[in-house]
Every structure is written in structure tokens, then in C-alpha cells.
């Protein structure tokens, strides 16, 4: 008898062995929209729209390709509410004798799947997910025995091993990294191209109605959905990025602009993470643009580093450090997230902009997630589990394997430095350098204390003051503590006083 082949919502890839090895006559493919996956955190409405619509389109493409597909819609009366329940029902309905699935991206689901064989009383094969450049084992072998794990060294290994941007064994152009040419602020006269937008078709329109009905209490706006939901659409987003944005990607990678969220970023994470695009094809296209003289090396190298460097690194890191990573709390942070993280209602323009963009689009670009939202979360010592949950549910590209290392490691330093060499903290002047947010803010970025001073300024010095015991010994913090030591005691006391008043207001959810 045949096998049941389960495809998860982020496994929409036709070349996965779970599909290519199928016997189309006997086997049945199962895809299911289930309450358990859609509500284990209250995902942003647009994230659910994207996934359910992409799942429905993918199921149709499999049917067109001759597969027998059992697709369970969310509002089907028979819906079992969980993946296990759906697998059980499908085995029975089609009289199947074995289950095959690709390993899930999240630890929680892998642990649960490891019980399935016992619970279902049929064999369950969990196949490796080969959609990454490196296997989990390859990362562990690289990491074992190293004192510190640094993305940059991992990245160079990947470049060499896969021959990406290499010239006779040396990095193209002579350097591994061209960030000295990147990260400039964006002049006011630069106009980034409009993002690719797709009008919802009948399938997406039905899903939007479903989500508005069933997930009304979830975070985020459902109107104005314009993401691609098919492989063809995702390829179109990729081609448009390579043509229109990649040339300026590097230069403006760290820039932020008032009322503008898309800038020169690729907006590809949605599609790479759910399987509609492979990281390999994205990297190959970017490299080809460099060789064709269509994009400069600093942009292409910077972009490729995000994928074969950061993306692969955090995935390996996640599996290497789970489950401990979930509960790490180096600074013993325990403040609650303020309510304005959900509605954007604050006078701090940078936060208002980033939260509003997130709420509208289930997207914010990297530097908004890092320099504004992340920096603030660390400075205010929000409880890691609350910050982790927030990031996991608000972004349409978020799955725990990629979200958690970025939150626990990159922004909160909750792992004590396994991922980052120092905490990413910055005062208002850095935000002002990289954005035009401060011009549009009720606070004054040049004011350090007193009425109307930018909260990032005093929160920054308070944080350094509070965590000296842990941070002074970090060689990369040496310069910062030199400035701190030169500061007059009264100035430090005034900042601590303002910071304490601010944090008390936050705790009481008063307007800031
Ligand atoms: P681009 O700026 O165009 O970058 C190109 C690609 O590189 C991205 O599509 C992504 O695949 C990859 N990439 C870039 N940076 C990272 C990174 N730090 N880690 C992993 N991949 C990276 N990315 C997610 O995909 N899912 C998440 O849940 C997620 N959570 C994050 C949380 C925090 C606190 C931070 C600081 C970053 C997070 N990122 C996450 C990384 C990054 O912000 C997003 O990948 C990026 O903003 C997606 O937009 P883009 O496709 O336009 O990216
Ligand atoms: C994120 C998500 C959502 C919202 N809904 C579903 C679903 O209904 N069915 C499904 O198979 N997958 C869904 N997903 C993606 C899974 O949560 C994802 O596969 C796991 O978190 C592992 O990465
Ligand atoms: Fe943000 Fe401070 Fe600038 Fe206002 S002044 S936008 S709070 S950094």
C-alpha cells in the first residue's frame, strides 16, 4: 500500500525528496491548515494569508503535476486541528501504511514528530531538509571545539566550499567583505523603486476572508495584501530585485527612512523561508549580476553574505544550541513589553515608524528590527521570552529557527555572547545618523537629559552603568567604557534618574 507524504506550510518546494521519490499512483500528499500551527503564537494576519494562500496554490500545482493531494482547509468541518490529527485521519481515509515527512524547521515540531511513530503505530520517516547550503552536522562539526563562533569565519568557509565569488582560490576583488563601502545614510533625493505588488486572485481573496473571520484577534492589518503566493510570483520578485535594487543594496543596507519600509532590500525572506525560492538560486542570480557587470561587488558580496553567511549560520546555531537558547537570559531581563509594541502608539518616532510598518506589512527591514526595535528591547531589558514571541508572530518570514538566534543572540545578547561579540546597543545619535526619523520626532536627539531628551540617550548610559560587571571585561567595550569613565558623576546620575523615570512609565504603560 501507499505512503502518506506530509508537506508543511514552509515546505513548498517541488524538488524535495519527499515529493520526487513519491509513487504518484499509490502515495497521497497531505497538506493541512490547522489551528495548532496557526495559533501556537498569534501570527500576524498577513503571515497566515501568505502561507495559506501559498499552500493552496502549491497544492494545486501538485495536482496539476499528477499527485494525489489531500488538502485540508482551515474551515473544513472535519478539520482535526493538529498535524498529528490530520495525519491520522488521512492514513485511515486512504488506507496508507507509512508516513514520510521532511524534518520541520522548528525544534518544538521535531520533538513532537519524534513521538508520532509511537502514537500512530505506523513507520514515520523524517527526511533531512536539504534546502540549505550546509547540513546541521556540517555546522556542528565546524562549531565543535571552537572557543567562539563567528559568522564571518563560517561565511568564508561557505564561500570557499561552494566557490561563490571566488577567483582562483581568493575572494573576488581581493577582500572577503566590502562593508567599508556600505552602510551609508540615504540622501533625501534618492527614491527607492516601488516594491513588486500582486493583486490577490480568487484563492487569495478567499483566504483573506477566512483570516478576517477566524483570526480577527491576531496582530496586524489584513488589508492591502500584495505579496506573491506562487513560485512564478516569487521568481518575479527575485528578478525585479536583481534588476532594480541589488545595485544599491549594499550602499543603503543600513539606512532607514521616515514613511518608507521597502528601500533597497530584497523582500525575499518570505519566499525563501517557505520554500518558494531556493537560497541557491537567489545567490546564483546575484553572483551572475556581478559577473555581467550589472551590480557592483560591494552590493553583491553584502547580499550574498546575508544568505550563505547569516542565514546558514543562524540555522546551524539554532540546532546547535537548542533547547537552551530559548531560556537564556544573560542580563536577567524581566520587564514586560509595553502595549505600544502592539499598536505603535508612542511619541518616539523611530519606534512608532518601525512598529507601524510591522503592523501594516508583517515586514520591517533588518536595520529597523535591529537598531530600533532590538536596541530598545535590550536597553529596556524586556523579558527574552516576550521579545522572542513578539518577533516570531509579527513577521511573515518568522520561523523559530531563524527568529530565535537573531533575537536571543543578535539583539538581546541573552546567550552571553555565543552569537555576537558584544551587545548591540546604541544611543540616539546612531539612529539619527542612519535615518531621518529624529527630524520627525517630538524628542530631541541632541539632548542627553531633562525634559524632551531622546530616551535612547539616557537608556544607553544607564544600561552600560548597570551591567559594568559583565561588560567591562569585554575588549570590544573598552572604548565605550573609556567615555563612560570620563563622564562627570552628576551627568551619569542625571541620566540614571531620567532612565529610571522612563522605565517606570513603561512599566505602568503610560504614554512615552
Ligand atoms: P534583505 O535585507 O534583502 O536580505 C537578504 C536575505 O538575507 C534575506 O531575505 C534573508 O534570507 C537573509 N538574511 C539577512 N539577514 C539575516 C539574518 N540576520 N538572519 C538570517 N537571514 C538573514 N529573518 C528571517 O528570515 N526571519 C526572521 O524571523 C527574522 N527575525 C529577525 C529578528 C531580528 C531581531 C533581527 C535583527 C533580524 C531578523 N531576521 C529574520 C533577519 C532579517 O532582518 C530579515 O531576514 C530581513 O529583514 C528580511 O527582509 P529581506 O528579505 O528584504 O532581507
Ligand atoms: C506558520 C504556519 C502556519 C501559520 N500555519 C500552518 C498550517 O496551518 N499548516 C502547516 O503545515 N504549517 C503552518 N505553518 C508553518 C509551520 O508552523 C512550520 O512548518 C513549522 O513551524 C516548522 O518550521
Ligand atoms: Fe528615536 Fe530619539 Fe530619534 Fe526620537 S529622537 S526618533 S526617540 S532616536
pLDDT in the model for residue 183: 84
Range of the domain at 48: 3-127
168 Cβ neighbours under 8 A, 6+ residues apart: none
Examine residue 478 and state whether it is found in any structural domain, yes or no. yes
Backbone angles phi, psi at 125, to 5 degrees: -100, 125
Q: Answer yes or no: do 487 and 345 share one domain.
A: yes
Residue 208 lies in a domain: no
For residue 131, how far is the Cα from the chain centroid? 17
CB distance 106 to ligand 2 below 6 Å: yes
DSSP helix/strand/coil, 6: strand
* Ligand 2 center from residue 466 Cα (angstroms): 40
- Examine the domain organization and report whether 122 and 140 are in the same domain: no
Nearest CA to ligand 2 atom 11: 8
Query: Which residue's C-alpha cell is 533625493?
Result: 189
Given ligand 2 and candidates 9, 53, 80, which is best to mutate, with the most ligand atoms within 8 Å of its CB? Answer: 9
Write the DSSP string, 97-166.
Answer: -EEEEEPPSSHHHHHHHTTHHHHHSS-EEEE----SSS-HHHHHHHHTT-S---HHHHHHHHHHHHTTTE
* 19-54: b (≥16 Cβ within 10 Å) or e: beebeeeebbbbbbbbebbbbebbbbbbbbbbbbbb
Residue 284 has a pLDDT of 98
**Residue 426 grid cell:** 546604541
For ligand 2, the distance from its centroid to the CA atom of residue 220, given in whole angstroms, is 18
CA separation for the pair 135, 161 (Å, rounded): 13
Q: Could you tell me the CATH number of the domain that includes residue 85? A: 3.40.50.620
Is 396 in the same domain as 487?
yes
188: Cα separation from own chain's centroid? 28
The contacts of residue 147 (CB under 8 Å, 6+ apart) are none
Please name which ligand lies nearest the alpha carbon of 75: 2
The pocket around ligand 1, CB under 6 angstroms, is made up of 265-269, 272-273, 303, 306-307, 310-311, 314, 365-366, 369-370, 374, 391, 395, 397-398, 402-403, 406-407, 410-411
Residue ranges in the chain whose pLDDT is less than 70: none
Q: Are residues 344 and 468 in the same domain?
A: yes
Q: Is the same domain home to 268 and 312?
A: yes
First to last CA, the chain: 64
Q: What is the spatial distance between Cα 468 and Cα 370, in angstroms, rounded to a whole number?
A: 22
Helix (H), strand (E) at residue 210: helix 202-214
Whether the CA torsion 424, 425, 430, 436 is positive or negative: it is: positive
What percent helix, strand, coil does the chain show, rounded to 5?
Answer: 50, 5, 40
User: Which ligand 3 atom is the nearest neighbour of the CA of 444?
Assistant: 5
Residue 226 lies in a domain: no
CB hemisphere CA count around 128 (13 angstroms): 9
Are residues 12 and 152 located together in one domain of the fold?
A: no
Asked if residue 187 is part of any domain, the answer here is: yes
Q: Where are the alpha helices (DSSP H) in 276-334?
A: 279-291, 297-304, 312-321
Of the candidates 285, 299, 286, the one whose C-alpha atom is nearest the C-alpha of residue 247 is: 299
Residues 6+ apart with CB under 8 A from 135: 128
Ligand 2 contact via 87 beta carbon (within 6 Å): no
* Residues whose CB falls within 8 Å of the CB of residue 156, separated by 6 or more in sequence, listed in order: 171, 176
User: How many beta carbons lie within 10 A of that of residue 312, not counting itself?
Assistant: 21
Measure 372 CA to ligand 3 centroid, in angstroms.
9
Last residue of a domain, one of 85, 101, 127: 127
Nearest to 29 by CA among 2, 52, 50: 2
CA angle 75, 45, 365 (to 5 degrees): 150
Does residue 202 belong to any structural domain of this protein? Answer: no
**438 and 349 in one domain?**
yes
Q: Which of 338, 425, 427, 454 to mutate for ligand 3's pocket (most ligand atoms within 8 Å of CB)?
A: 454
Residue 364 Cβ contacting ligand 2 at under 6 Å: no
CA distance 102 to 389: 25
CA of 427 to the centre of ligand 3 (A): 9
Query: Residue 348: nearest ligand to its CA?
Result: 3
The CATH number for 405's domain is: 1.10.579.10
The verdict on 118 and 149 lying in the same domain is no
User: What is the three-class DSSP state of 341?
Assistant: helix
Angle at CA 96, nearest 5°, toward 95 and 98?
155
Q: What is the pLDDT of residue 216?
A: 98
Residues 390 and 481 occupy one common structural domain: yes
Measured by CA distance, the residue closest to atom 28 of ligand 1 is 398
Q: What tens digit of pLDDT does each residue of 271-305 get?
A: 999 999 999 999 999 999 999 999 999 999 999 99
Domain total in the chain: 3
Bond prior to 323 in cis (omega within 30° of 0): yes
pLDDT in tens, 180-213: 899 899 999 999 999 999 999 999 999 999 999 9
Q: Are residues 300 and 374 in the same domain?
A: no
Q: What's the gap in Å between 138 CA and the centre of ligand 3?
A: 43
Amino acid at each position: 500500500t501507499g505512503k502518506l507524504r506530509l508537506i508543511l506550510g514552509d515546505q513548498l518546494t517541488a524538488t524535495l525528496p519527499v515529493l520526487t521519490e513519491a509513487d504518484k499512483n499509490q502515495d497521497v500528499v497531505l497538506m493541512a491548515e490547522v489551528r495548532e500551527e496557526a495559533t501556537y503564537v498569534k501570527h500576524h494576519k498577513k503571515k497566515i494569508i501568505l502561507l495559506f494562500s501559498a499552500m493552496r496554490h502549491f497544492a494545486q500545482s501538485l495536482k496539476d503535476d499528477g499527485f494525489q493531494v489531500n488538502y485540508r482547509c482551515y474551515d473544513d468541518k472535519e478539520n482535526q486541528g493538529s498535524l498529528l490529527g490530520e495525519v491520522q485521519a488521512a492514513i485511515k481515509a486512504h488506507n496508507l501504511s507509512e508516513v514520510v515527512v521532511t524534518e520541520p524547521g522548528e525544534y518544538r515540531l521535531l520533538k513532537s514528530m519524534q513521538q508520532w511513530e509511537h502514537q500512530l503505530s505506523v513507520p514515520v520517516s523524517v527526511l533531512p531538509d536539504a534546502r540549505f547550503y550546509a547540513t546541521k552536522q556540517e555546522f556542528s562539526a565546524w562549531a565543535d571545539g571552537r572557543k567562539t563562533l563567528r559568522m564571518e569565519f563560517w561565511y568564508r568557509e561557505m564561500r570557499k566550499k561552494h566557490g561563490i565569488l571566488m577567483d582562483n582560490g581568493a575572494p573576488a576583488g581581493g577582500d572577503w567583505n566590502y562593508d567599508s563601502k556600505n552602510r551609508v545614510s540615504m540622501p533625501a533625493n534618492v527614491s527607492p523603486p516601488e516594491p513588486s505588488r500582486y493583486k490577490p486572485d480568487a484563492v487569495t481573496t478567499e483566504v483573506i476572508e477566512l483570516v478576517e473571520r477566524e483570526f480577527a484577534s491576531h496582530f496586524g492589518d489584513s488589508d492591502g495584501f500584495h505579496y506573491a503566493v506562487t513560485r512564478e510570483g516569487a521568481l518575479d520578485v527575485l528578478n525585479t530585485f536583481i534588476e532594480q535594487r541589488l545595485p544599491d543594496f549594499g550602499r543603503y543596507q543600513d539606512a532607514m527612512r521616515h514613511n518608507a519600509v521597502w528601500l533597497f532590500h530584497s523582500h525575499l525572506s518570505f519566499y525563501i523561508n517557505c520554500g518558494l525560492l531556493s537560497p541557491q538560486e537567489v545567490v546564483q542570480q546575484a553572483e551572475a549580476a556581478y559577473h555581467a557587470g550589472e551590480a557592483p561587488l560591494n552590493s553583491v558580496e553584502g547580499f550574498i553574505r546575508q544568505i550563505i553567511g547569516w542565514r546558514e549560520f543562524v540555522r546551524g546555531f539554532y540546532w546547535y544550541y537548542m533547547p537552551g537558547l530559548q531560556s537564556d537570559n544573560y542580563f536577567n531581563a524581566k520587564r514586560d513589553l509595553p502595549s505600544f509594541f502592539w499598536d505603535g502608539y508612542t511619541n518616539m518616532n523611530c519606534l512608532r515608524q518601525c512598529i507601524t510598518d510591522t503592523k501594516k506589512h508583517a515586514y520591517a527591514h533588518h536595520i529597523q528590527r535591529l537598531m530600533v526595535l532590538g536596541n530598545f528591547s535590550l536597553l529596556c531589558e524586556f523579558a527574552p521570552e516576550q521579545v522572542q514571541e513578539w518577533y516570531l508572530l509579527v513577521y511573515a518570514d518568522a520561523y523559530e529557527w531563524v527568529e530565535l538566534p537573531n533575537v536571543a543572540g543578535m539583539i538581546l545578547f541573552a546567550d552571553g555572547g555565543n552569537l555576537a561579540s558584544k551587545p548591540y546597543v546604541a544611543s540616539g545619535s546612531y539612529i539619527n545618523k542612519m535615518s531621518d526619523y529624529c527630524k520627525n520626532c517630538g524628542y530631541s536627539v541632541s539632548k542627553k537629559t531633562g525634559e524632551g531628551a531622546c530616551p535612547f540617550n539616557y537608556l544607553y548610559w544607564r544600561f552600560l552603568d548597570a551591567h559594568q560587571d559583565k561588560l567591562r571585561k569585554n575588549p570590544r567595550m573598552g572604548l565605550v567604557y573609556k567615555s563612560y569613565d570620563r563622564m562627570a558623576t552628576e551627568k551619569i546620575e542625571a541620566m540614571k534618574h531620567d532612565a529610571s523615570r522612563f522605565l517606570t512609565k513603561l512599566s505602568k504603560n503610560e504614554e512615552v
